[in-house]
Amino acid sequence: MERDDIDLDLRKRIYKRALEEKNSNIWNFKRYYAAATYWSWIGVGADILTAIAGALLTYGLAWRGLPTWFMVSLSLMVGVISISKGNRKPGQRSEKLHSVGRSYHRLYDQIQDFIELDLKDDRSDEDMLREQFNELASERHDLKAEAKLSGIWYRWIKWRRGDEIYEEAATTDEERRLLDPEGFDDTDSEEDES
């Protein structure tokens, strides 16, 4: 085997592993975002229920228009919501999950850049590629240890979104044309002319 064959084989193996890392990260940041949204809605829902119960209690006390058993039930419901919200802290949980989701999203972007800008560049040194890939993989493992999230979110996204998740992460040719009407090839030819 020649040196070029060894280098190409190493690049292919790193490329395969980078795609696996990229795939893992897209599912991770999507499920963390989904969980963050869920807990955010739980917090907002608890606030709305508390406000409605408070308004009904105020009406019942001021105009004596509601039966006593109903107002007692509303008071108990407000207490249960307050205790649950204080115990589960949906707002803080949502923010933490969203923060971890952003970290996975940033890592996804870094892996995408690594594949497109470094790995596909024939001039890149193989040792540097291996080292850079190891750093990216290590960062994902560190994130994995930082915050745990149950598999229910993966299953929910898989059921709800399926392969659509990949379409969201890709830029179509039409979107590229809208983002950069001149295109990459046109800019090269303009630079050559000057």
Place of tokens 């395969």: 16
Report pLDDT for 183: 67
Q: CB within 8 A of 90, min separation 6: which ones?
A: 39, 40, 42, 43, 46
Tokens of 182: 């001149």
DSSP 151: T
Domain assignment present for 88: yes
Residue 35 lies in a domain: yes
Asked whether the beta carbons of 119 and 14 are under 8 A apart, the reply is yes
18 in a structural domain: yes
Which run of H or E residues covers position 89? none
Residue 10 counted as domain residue: yes
The tokens describing 39, both together, are 């807990």
Structure token pair of residue 165: 């998740």
Residue 181 inside a domain? The answer is no
Check residue 178 and give its pLDDT.
79
Task: In the chain, count H helices and then E strands.
Answer: 8, 0
Please give the sequence-ordered ranges of beta strands (E in DSSP) within 19-167, or none if there are none: none
> Global pTM?
0.80
Which parts of the chain register pLDDT below 50?
Answer: 1, 186-194
Task: Summarize pLDDT for 54-101 with one digit per residue, the tens.
Answer: 999 999 999 888 999 999 999 999 999 999 999 999 999 999 999 999
- Can you tell me whether residue 65 is helix, strand or coil? coil
Range of the domain at 47: 3-148
Asked if residue 92 is part of any domain, the answer here is: yes
Position 191 scores a pLDDT of: 45
Asked if residue 49 belongs to a domain, the reply is yes
Asked whether residue 157 is assigned to any structural domain, the reply reads no
Residue 65 pLDDT = 85
The number of folded domains in the chain is 1
